[in-house]
Amino acid sequence: MVLLCGHCGNPREGGAPTYRCTCIPAHVWEEPDLAQAVRTLNLSEVIRCMRQHPDTRHLSQVALATMSGLSQAMVSRLENGVNVASINRAVDALAGLGAPGAADGKRWRLPDDSEPLPPAKPQMTPGVPCVVITSPVPIYVQVMDPPDPSTTGTNRHSDVAFVIDTDGPRLIVNQDIPWGVTSAPGGATAWFALTDREQHITTAHELKART
């Protein structure tokens, strides 16, 4: 069986090198940030790396959607920081993109991973107090533009909000706040840094009251 690229239609392996798929060069997958994102099935970071790397930024959201089997709207959400909800969808997307290696339970094993992968741990900023949120189901992360410095009073947007609605748990942070989310066999763990003592955290009750 020959696996064809969903974007260019050329085979990823085998056949004459002249006609082989070069949409995502092999060395791109070796980038440390991208490799770690692949291992942890962080599809949001994978898409952002693809869109920023000099050798893959020519690929549009539509092209990445075609290759990964996702919709263009989902690729757009991933690029904007909303992590994928389904482990299985992330695995299928990585396979469609041609990531080296294979799925290994709730993780992805790269060819050079000779030892079993350790349990996922939140990569928090050393020396900075953080809030950690654990959930038995995946956590969406929505990254917003930072608030306007000229805005004051009650109209100022909150830096962080954690909402639980029909779509599941959702962490909303602005671009200035360090954050992370890790998928695990028992669900997901998300964190965000408390970089300002006066930072205000909005609860779902407060968010509902505003609307």
The model carries a pTM of 0.56
In degrees, to the nearest 5, what angle opens at C-alpha 61 toward C-alphas 84 and 174?
55
Which residues, listed in sequence order, are joined to residue 144 by a DSSP beta bridge? Answer: 174
pLDDT attached to residue 186: 57
Confidence at residue 34, expressed as pLDDT on a 0 to 100 scale: 92
Please tell me the predicted confidence (pLDDT) of residue 62.
92
Can you give the pLDDT at residue 149? 58
Q: What's the pLDDT at 190?
A: 77
pLDDT at residue 28 in the model: 93
Residue indicated by tokens 């980038």: 31
Contacts for 109 with CB less than 8 Å, ≥ 6 apart: 39, 101, 102, 103, 117
DSSP 8-state class, residue 117: P
Query: Domain ranges in the chain?
Result: 17-109, 130-203
Q: What is the pLDDT of residue 187?
A: 65
State how far the Cα of 112 lies from the Cα of 15, in Å rounded to an integer: 25
Which pLDDT score, from 0 to 100, does residue 154 have?
A: 47
Q: Render each residue's pLDDT in the chain as its tens digit; 211 residues.
A: 567 787 888 887 766 777 788 889 989 999 999 998 898 888 999 999 999 999 999 999 999 999 888 889 999 989 888 776 578 888 889 988 989 888 887 788 888 776 555 545 555 556 668 888 887 777 777 777 665 655 545 444 567 888 887 767 888 877 677 777 665 555 677 778 876 543 444 444 444 454 4
Q: How is the beta sheet containing 130-135 ordered, strand by strand?
A: 130-135, 187-193, 179-184
In whole angstroms, what is the distance from residue 21 CA to residue 19 CA? 7
Given this model, what pLDDT does residue 197 score? 41
